[in-house]
Amino acid sequence: MEGKSVGVVLAGGQSRRFGSPKAFAKKDGKEFYLHSIDAIKPFVDSIALITNPQLENYFNEKEVKVILDKPEYQGKGPLAGIYTAMDTFSAEWYMIIPIDVPFIDQQIMKILTDHLDEDVDAVIPVVSGNIQPLIAIYRITVKDLIKHKLNQGKRAVISILNDCNVRYVPMKEEQPFYNINSRLDFDKWIGIRNKLEKESVYNENEPS
């Protein structure tokens, strides 16, 4: 991405449906939040991880700056996290990613960077007709708009899209966007996968 860019990992949710902090659940032996960091790392100059006070001291990546939402917007959802990053770190572009999409990969983020130009405020993927505003790139030009929406009590990231210039990027592959919200999601997409991998290793080592 041209100009200074910041990666923003959104890790401030309470994970109520999951039952424990999703950031530290594992896929392929690696915590979810590390999958998110790896996906954006090649495309940004620095990375900020936005979280809540309960989790602040549990992230230990030396190259990642861990910060809390602005006090006036704490608990106000991902839009508050995006604003906090924009208000804390000076950049032109902010690459946004949550911590509960462990199948995300660098190729998806590379496609988004290919659609950046000076005429857009945001680049957002569309998968099977569904807009994915939390795996996206936003320009600093939307900062004041985000603050305005937050002050109106609007938390949904999608609330800003009608008021800025968005480039929507259709994508066919669905798996990178699988969102792990609950234990059922985990068992469906990751638990079964882990079980099959263990069985495969066991069968390979089984004497003939």
pLDDT digits (tens, 9 = 90+) for 111-136: 999 999 989 999 999 999 999 999 99
Q: What φ, ψ does residue 191 adopt, rounded to 5°?
A: -60, -45
Confidence band, pLDDT 50/70/90 cuts, at residue 192:
low
In a domain, 199, yes or no: no
What is the pLDDT, as a whole number, of residue 203? 36
Is the pLDDT reported for residue 199 higher than 60?
Answer: no
Confidence band, pLDDT 50/70/90 cuts, at residue 198:
very low
pTM for the model stands at 0.87
In a domain, 95, yes or no: yes
Segments forming the whole domain that contains residue 63: 5-181
In a domain, 195, yes or no: no
CATH of residue 60's domain is 3.90.550.10
- What total number of domains does the chain contain? 1
What is the pLDDT, as a whole number, of residue 36? 96
* 3-state SS, residue 104: coil
Q: What φ, ψ does residue 139 adopt, rounded to 5°?
A: -95, 155
What is the pLDDT, as a whole number, of residue 22? 83
Q: Tell me the C-alpha distance between 11 and 49, whole Å.
A: 7
Is the pLDDT reported for residue 165 higher than 90?
Answer: yes
In a domain, 177, yes or no: yes
pLDDT digits (tens, 9 = 90+) for 82-98: 999 999 999 999 999 99
What is the pLDDT, as a whole number, of residue 3? 55
Closest CA to 88 of 155, 163, 143: 143
Average pLDDT score, the chain: 86
What is the pLDDT, as a whole number, of residue 75? 87
In a domain, 190, yes or no: no
In a domain, 202, yes or no: no
Burial grade of 37 (CB within 10 A; 0-12, 13-18, 19 or more): buried
In a domain, 198, yes or no: no
What is the pLDDT, as a whole number, of residue 186? 79
49-70 mean pLDDT: 89
Top mean pLDDT of 6-20, 87-101, 181-195 is at 87-101
Is the pLDDT reported for residue 16 higher than 60?
Answer: no
User: Between residues 54 and 202, which one has the greater pLDDT?
Assistant: 54
In a domain, 65, yes or no: yes
Count of alpha carbons within 13 angstroms of residue 172, beta-carbon side: 0
